[in-house]
Chains A and B, each alone.
Chain A
Amino acid sequence: MACAESARLALLEDGELAPPEAAALERHVATCADCRLEREATRALRAALRRSAERHRAPAALRARIGAALEAEPAPFAATRRPPPATAPRGRFWAGAGSGALAATLAALAVALVVGRGATPAVEHDVVAAHLRALLPGRAIDVESSDRHTVKPWFAGHADVSPPVVDFAAEGFVLAGGRIDYVGGERASVVVYRHGAHLIDVFVWRDPAARQPTRARSENGFRLLSWRAGDLAFCAISDTAEAELVALKDLLRQSLPGDARE
């Protein structure tokens, strides 16, 4: 195999060369025996592969199943993107708008969570719902690793928000991985920690507008702790004690560069 040009033949055959380059290479191939043979072999392999390897088509039964599943699914963004009523304070009292979608989700989970309680901000509803979904078997984590050098780049490649990712194993909060979820119609990055037998989800999303002080709540057996840093909103949720969430919050705060802490 002598000709240096043959390395680019795959690009030519895959249609990845710009027209002038392709034309130049074609002219070369016309005069080069090595490259002609190489191209014939490339084409023969492709033809044989396409003859032998089937392109599987979705079975009709699967199509029907998916159609039914979509039917049962709430139209997600239609519900979550609806603006709050003009008279209500931002983010409050509009759980009613989202409660249809939420109720469907939760009913599907057979979870007896009372929805639409007026004072519960919709975002925290979403956090609870997402956390419940995540507790279903096999759904907690998209990227499973205790290595921040694995989790951090995964977020960089998948998420709108690159959250602080630190393993606090020494302090009892073991980094378990990350996933993407949705709160209030926003894509949130979720950093997952294990704390003893408990799973802690830390939701992080961009929310430059709201000024929300740190607050702790309890809902349906879960503790929620919300805080902000810079233009990022944080909400930690778990069935562990509130003090543990506060400890994790303090650790995360300290891990941020000084100007982004508040």
Chain B
Amino acid sequence: MADRRRFEAEVLVHLDAAYNLARWLVRAPADADDVVQDAVLRAYRADGDRRGADARPWLLAIVRHCALRHLERRGRALRREAGAEGEEALLGLAAPEADEPLAAALRAESQGSLAAALEALPAGFREVLVLRELEDLSYREIAAVIDAPVGTVMSRLARARAALRAFWQAGRPEAGHGLR
């Protein structure tokens, strides 16, 4: 039981962070609940193998993993109904490094608010922004969560921010003065 208490003190205290990431990744509250519960139980079973690793990025990596699996499964069901485009539109993960005009896509999909634009970003960009801006993780911690090099974190952050900024400034031209 000491293990349970330690798990609660070191890992479960990050439940809000876990839930926030899950919500932004899978969007639907009920799905986020399931993803987080699954992730926390996996984390509990694996806690003995954490070996002193910082608990928050460690837990968030498990949450992310469960969330992406959830999206993949749902994508598969969706694809059966709607053809392959359904999955790609849902995940947007097919080519997070490809240079498609993100900002244009945001203008088409979002309802005008920055939150809606963030939600419309492909998951690979959305997750780095959520981890940086809402969870205040360092580049190194984000790299641990998404299992990618720090350089990838930096380039994804830069492109995600550029897209949001272009979207935002298009919506409020008076703020665009002198910005470019």
Contacts and interface: CB of A to CB of B under 8 A. Distances in A.
Interface of A: 1, 10-11, 14-16, 37-38, 41-42, 44-46, 48-50, 52-59, 61-63, 65-66, 69-70, 73, 75-78, 81, 138, 142, 144, 157-158, 182, 185, 187
A192 to B, nearest CB: 14
Contacts of A157: 147
Contact of B115 (A10, A16, A54): A54
Given A49-B164, A55-B20, A73-B44, A78 B3 contact: yes
Interface stretch (B88-96, B98-106, B172-180): B172-180
Nearest to B32: A56
A56 B168 contact: no
A180 B117 CA distance: 35
25 contacts: A10-B154, A15-B138, A38-B179, A46-B133, A52-B115, A53-B118, A53-B133, A54-B115, A55-B135, A58-B15, A58-B16, A58-B19, A59-B29, A61-B33, A62-B19, A63-B15, A65-B33, A66-B37, A66-B41, A73-B44, A78-B3, A138-B69, A182-B46, A187-B46, A187-B49
Interface residues of B, number: 53
Interface of B: 1, 3-4, 7, 12, 15-16, 18-20, 23-24, 29, 32-33, 36-37, 40-41, 44-49, 65, 69, 72-73, 113-115, 118, 129-130, 132-135, 138-139, 147, 154, 157-158, 161, 164-165, 168, 175, 178-180
Given A10-B158, A52-B115, A75-B3, A66 B36 contact: yes
A73 B19 contact: no
A54 B118 CA distance: 11
B interface SS class: helix
Contact of B20 (A44, A49, A57): A57
A73 B3 CA distance: 12
Nearest to A54: B115
Given A50-B133, A69-B37, A75-B3, A37 B179 contact: yes
